[in-house]
Each structure stands twice: as C-alpha cells, then as structure tokens.
Amino acid sequence: MAKVDRRIQKTQEALKNAILELMAQKNLDDITIQDLSDRANVSRGTIYLHYADKFDLLDKLIESHINELRRLCESASDLDLVSATLIWAEYFESNYPFFSMMLASKGAPYFRNRFLDYLVEELRSGVDVTKGKNQGLLEDVLVQFIASAQLGVVEWWFTHARPVTHQVLAEQLGTLLERNI
C-alpha cells in the first residue's frame, strides 16, 4: 500500500473536520464548497483535487468509518459477543463527534442507512435459523430485526448523550445479541 503524503492527510483531515463542524450548524444541502474551503483553510481547488463535491467528501468519511468497523469486527471474530461489542463501543466512544453527528442529528440520514446495511451484512453469517430458538424463522426477518435493534440502541446512546458508559453499553448490547443470535 502506497504511503500517503502527510500534507494530503492533513488536508483531508481538515476537510473531514470542517464538514462535521458545518453539519453541526446547518443542513448538508446548505453547506457550500466555499464554506468548506473557509472552515478547512484550503482553496476550493484543493477540495476538488480530493473530492468530486461535498457529498463525495461525506461519503468517503462515512466509508472510512464503516471500513474501520468492518476491520474491528474481523479482528474480534473469535471473541464472545460482549467482548466484541466492547471493541465497537470503544470505537464509538473515541469517534464520538462523528457518530453523534451522524446518528443523533438528522444531518445525515444516508449514514443511518449505510450503517444498517453494514450491520445486516455482518449479521447474516452469524444467525442460524435451522436450529435452536430461531428455528423456522426467516433469515431475512431475523437479521433485519437484530440489525435494527442494534442500530436503535446505538442511536439511543448517542441521542441521549451517552447515558451509560461505553462499557455498560457493550455489556448490555452484547448480552442482548447473545440471546438472539
């Protein structure tokens, strides 16, 4: 994998921070490239060197977090669900500004759908409808139910400004997942 120039990394990081800061103030549709340019302290041309438009910038930001969650999930595949969920909860905690903006506000419904799709994809291989308490259920229904519930709990945690620690969230959510998978 080619090493990315530190100047490029700094510019992209400034732009990612700028879009989150601006989304805290106004709707994505109302954010202009000039707003991003001013906030990130880069020229408009620099933005277009890295991203097609503000939607591409947001999409790349979302994709980077989804990919990191995917990587964390793969690294935790041999753990029990409570321990694996703790890894996720720690990631949510350390990236609180991003996730709270994406889930607690109505600023990016697109993220919610992408996150739900990701959860469905991850859960599909973990459910078994051929035996046990889920025997006879339709796999699609079960996966949608569990993914929607998991997303709902995470949204609740962000919309209520972390009413419990991320450790408690992980323990509770992991236990609920163990009971249903």
Radius of gyration of the chain (CA): 18
Q: What is the mean pLDDT of the chain?
A: 91
The count of other CB atoms within 10 Å of the CB of residue 97 is 12
The pLDDT value recorded for residue 128 is 86
Residues 6 or more apart in contact with residue 163 via CB below 8 angstroms:
157
**Token digits of residue 49:** 């060197």
Instruction: For residue 89, give Cα distances in angstroms to 92, 144, 156.
Output: 5, 21, 13
The model's pTM: 0.85
The pLDDT value recorded for residue 106 is 60
- CA proximity to 60, closest of 93, 28, 19, 90: 19
120-171 pLDDT, tens digit per residue, is 999 998 888 888 899 999 999 999 999 999 999 999 999 899 999 999 999 9
Residues 6 or more apart in contact with residue 16 via CB below 8 angstroms:
57, 61
Q: What is the mean pLDDT of residues 59-63?
A: 93
C-beta separation of 33 from 53 below 8 A: yes
The more confident residue out of 3 and 159 is 159
Q: What is the mean pLDDT of residues 87-93?
A: 95
Domains and CATH numbers, the chain: 1-51 (1.10.10.60), 61-180 (no CATH)
Q: What is the mean pLDDT of residues 172-178?
A: 93
The H or E element spanning position 34 is helix 33-40
